[in-house]
């Protein structure tokens, strides 16, 4: 293999992979805003809440205990208080981009931003 060819190949492949990485980064940075959040507890759908309305939701487990307080304000969703020992969910920054999520592993709560057109039509707004 000629040296010039090898260098050309490496430049080409490296450049293409770089372009792919940039495209991927753009997908995440320019990701569109979602219009609602979907809450699941233990994998079961708990509720879907529109981001357009300010609301406070106490996410309760089956035994009625309020474990995580979800607050939607100014089109963003965040966990305000939580009973979990790690407090990771409460420390998470407010989410609003399509696909972003806050996970509370100890309480098995997942909050994900969705858009109506992504198939999960928020027709069960509580």
Residues that bind other proteins (CB under 8 A): 1-2, 4-6, 8-9, 12-13, 16-17, 19-21, 23-24, 26-27, 30-32, 98
- 84 touches Zn ion by CB under 5 A: yes
61 close to 40: Cβ distance less than 8 angstroms: no
How far apart (Å, rounded) are the C-alpha atoms in residues 38 and 123? Answer: 11
3-state DSSP helix/strand/coil % of the chain, to nearest 5: 25, 40, 35
51 binds, among other proteins, Zn ion, none (CB under 5 to 8 A by kind): none
- Measure the N-to-C terminal CA separation of the chain; round to a whole number of Å: 66
72 binds, among other proteins, Zn ion, none (CB under 5 to 8 A by kind): none
CB-side exposure of 70: number of CA atoms within 13 Å?
32
Name the segment binding Zn ion (CB under 5 A); options: 6-14, 27-35, 92-100, 101-109.
Answer: 101-109
Instruction: Tell me the number of residues near Zn ion by CB under 5 A.
Output: 4
82 binds, among Zn ion, other proteins, none (CB under 5 to 8 A by kind): Zn ion
């Amino acid at each position: 293999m000629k040296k010039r060819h090898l260098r050309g190949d490496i430049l080409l492949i490296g450049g293409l992979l770089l372009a792919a990485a940039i495209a991927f980064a753009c997908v995440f940075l320019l990701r569109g805003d979602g219009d609602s959040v979907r809450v699941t507890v233990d994998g079961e759908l708990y509720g879907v809440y529109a981001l357009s309305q300010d609301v406070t939701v106490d996410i309760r487990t089956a035994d009625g205990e309020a474990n995580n307080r979800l607050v939607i304000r100014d089109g963003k969703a965040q966990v305000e208080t939580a009973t979990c020992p790690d407090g990771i969910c409460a420390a998470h920054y407010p989410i609003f981009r399509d696909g972003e999520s806050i996970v509370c592993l100890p309480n098995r709560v997942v909050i994900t931003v969705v858009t109506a057109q992504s198939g999960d039509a928020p027709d069960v707004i509580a």
